[in-house]
Structure 1
Amino acid sequence: MSTTPPPVAGAAPEPTKELPGDALEAPDTAAATPGTGRARKGKRNETLYFALRNPKVVGALVVVLGLFGLGMIAPLTFDHGPMDYVGAAIEPPSAQHWFGTTMFGQDVFTQFVAGLRSTYMVGVLAASLAAVVGMTIGFVAGYRGGWIDEILNMLTNVVLVIPGFVVLIVINAYLGVRSVPLQALYIGLFSWPWVARAVRAQTFSLRAREFVDLAKLSGLSTGAIIRREIAPNMYSYLFMTFVLLFGGSILTAASLDFIGLGPTNAMSLGLMMNQAVQWSALHLGMWWWFVPPGIGITAIVGSLYIMNVGLDEVFNPKLRET
């Protein structure tokens, strides 16, 4: 989002301006050294080794992938949909209905796993869009500089000062959100400015390195230099940025769904909480209707931010635990 709003807005906080670990410590002769590919492969293997030894990364990955697998596999075993009436109303959790039933006899567990699908879909799509737009603008502005940088930086600042969450509310209220991909499009278009500024700052630092100068002398185009020389030296930073975008997009989507401005033709965790509030689940003691989606959102987003902390420890040699 444009700034760092309260958590309810769902915006991911801007990561530190310094690259994690030794990302900037690339050899000056990287463009000309024959063994550069092997060196990068060895560095990736080393990163994977430390990642698998980091409890924060492993634990968060288990939660995120576990819920993702549940959302993908469990619906294949159901013979009813999330909106079907399958039992008596207001039934507490039981062997037949693991998460109980709603006010209308709908199975809450079926709605929960369907909501997981929508949650991951909007998170991946919105984060991918924001990452592509933000990183592209950041790379081009940081590498080219001059009037191109001024124009792109002005565009970034304009979008940055716009209260993105408020704009999303207005857009959704007047245009409506009829699908998860459309909601992801709205979120992604207002989530990229901080990414562009962060990537631009790192590109400024890398473009003056000697291996970039050697790439220029070899006749590589601007796009090739960015892809082959600059971006690979920022892969850890870019990956952590995507993780933050993923978590922020999920929070934003859940917030919009909770206030009734999300897709109504697809079940989501935020929509489950919205329906529970509308039908006074808390006052009726139907805790099984709103607790699971709340725990699900907290588990996914919390795990992503814990993963980001663990990845910082993995990519930064000074923070690694031996």
Structure 2
Amino acid sequence: MTTIPDSLADNRVVRREALHFAVRNGKLVIGFAIVLVLLLIGALGPVLLGVDAPNEYVAGPMLPPSAEHWFGTTTFGQDVFTQFVHGTRTTFVVGALGGGIAAVIAMVVGFTAGYRGGLVDEVLNMFTNIVLVIPTLAVLLIVNAYLGIRSVAVQALFIGLTSWPWAARAIRAQTFSLRTRDFVDLARLSGMNTRRVIVREIAPNMSSYLFMTFILLFGGSILIASSLDFIGLGPTEGVSLGLMLQNATQWSALQLGLWWWFIPPGAAITAIVGALYVANVGLDEVFNPKLRQR
């Protein structure tokens, strides 16, 4: 009969226990449900609508919501719902790319500094502090305004390159506390190099913490991108939720009473970021035994 190693059996027990509390945590379920609904709208909406040009003129101007145009039309006769689903997709793409890039940089810097220590830690910590005090939004404004880089991918790249320091410092602190554990010492004695020790021993023991960090970086990237879009420094092509708000403000939607133009994108941004925060609080309760609600 094949026996299951104790460590593998323990991991399975931990996963089952985490799943047990996850499905019973209201914050986590509600938060992820809201994000999932909006994600499906952004992913499937453009395909179901069959429209590749959300800015094209399809009807009369300033039409209120109706069965034909669910979110009404803009002052130029553009369908707001079509822009909304395309904008939701773009917003998620920027958040995922920006948050993903920031998470990768934070893990590389944080793990290396925390595990190696010494001079390596001092150099990386100094570099992290330098990036941390740089006014991120001001740098992004200069890059977007004066270099003329106005694409979704490059916007996400710059957001990722400037929003990782706080996460790197948090990962570094966690790595410091794990590098002296017995299982890490055993891995080093067995001949594992630094990369393998971090990937196989330290990172798996921080998986829940890393996931929650990515969620915060994801939401932060969405907020930064929406801010840039709102002040007119978003992508020059396509549409996003922030660009919808910017266009609505520029063309006096509030003064004209076109509430259907600015409320949906504003509510969607608030819902995404708020739901991610609520889900993150729920994850903390799931993974932290002291916070669990039985």
In the superposition, the TM-score normalised over structure 1's length comes to: 0.88
8 Å contact kept, 1:258–1:270: yes
Note the C-alpha offset of 1:44.
Answer: 1.7
Aligned to 1:18: none
Aligned to 2:22: 51
Shift in CA distance, 217/34, structure 1 to aligned 2, threshold 3 Å: farther
Give distance in 2, aligned partners of 1:168 and 1:53: 41
Note the C-alpha offset of 1:42.
Answer: 2.3
Aligned to 1:297: 269
2:33 is equivalent to residue 62 of structure 1: yes
Shift in CA distance, 109/273, structure 1 to aligned 2, threshold 3 Å: same
Aligned to 2:247: 275
Letter in 2 for 1:205: S
Q: Choose the corresponding residue for 1:313, options 254, 264, 285.
A: 285
Q: Choose the corresponding residue for 2:216, options 238, 244, 256.
A: 244
Letter in 1 for 2:250: Q
Give distance in 2, aligned partners of 1:203 and 1:38: 25
8 Å contact kept, 2:144–2:150: no
8 Å contact kept, 2:62–2:73: yes
Note the C-alpha offset of 1:178.
Answer: 2.9
Give distance in 2, aligned partners of 1:252 and 1:189: 12
8 Å contact kept, 1:126–1:249: yes
8 Å contact kept, 1:71–1:117: yes
Letter in 1 for 2:118: G
Cα deviation per residue 1:244-291 (whole Å; 9 max; x = unaligned)? Answer: 000000000000000000102020000000000110000000010000
Q: Choose the corresponding residue for 2:57, options 57, 82, 85.
A: 85
Note the C-alpha offset of 1:176.
Answer: 2.3
Give distance in 1, aligned partners of 2:282 and 2:149: 35
Residue ranges of structure 2 left out of the alignment (5+ in a row): none
Letter in 2 for 1:114: H
In the superposition, the TM-score normalised over structure 2's length comes to: 0.96
Cα deviation per residue 1:15-40 (whole Å; 9 max; x = unaligned)? Answer: xxxxxxxxxxxxxxxxxx94212322
Shift in CA distance, 79/218, structure 1 to aligned 2, threshold 3 Å: closer
Runs of 4+ in 1 over 6 A off after TM superposition: none
Aligned to 2:7: 36
The share of aligned pairs that are identical, in percent, is 63
2:238 is equivalent to residue 263 of structure 1: no
Aligned to 2:226: 254
Give distance in 2, aligned partners of 1:65 and 1:45: 23
8 Å contact kept, 1:172–1:261: yes
Note the C-alpha offset of 1:177.
Answer: 3.1
8 Å contact kept, 1:258–1:271: yes
Give distance in 2, aligned partners of 1:99 and 1:273: 14
Aligned to 2:172: 200
8 Å contact kept, 1:176–1:261: no
Give distance in 2, aligned partners of 1:74 and 1:153: 44
8 Å contact kept, 1:177–1:262: no
Give distance in 2, aligned partners of 1:158 and 1:245: 19
More helix per residue:
2
RMSD of aligned residue pairs (Cα, Å): 1.1
Letter in 2 for 1:95: A
SS in 1 for 2:174: helix
8 Å contact kept, 1:179–1:266: no
Note the C-alpha offset of 1:79.
Answer: 4.1
Aligned to 1:101: 73
Bigger relative CO (Cα 8 Å, ≥ 6 apart): 1
Residue ranges of structure 1 left out of the alignment (5+ in a row): 1-32
Aligned pairs (5 A) from 1:151-162: 151-162=123-134
Number of aligned pairs?
290
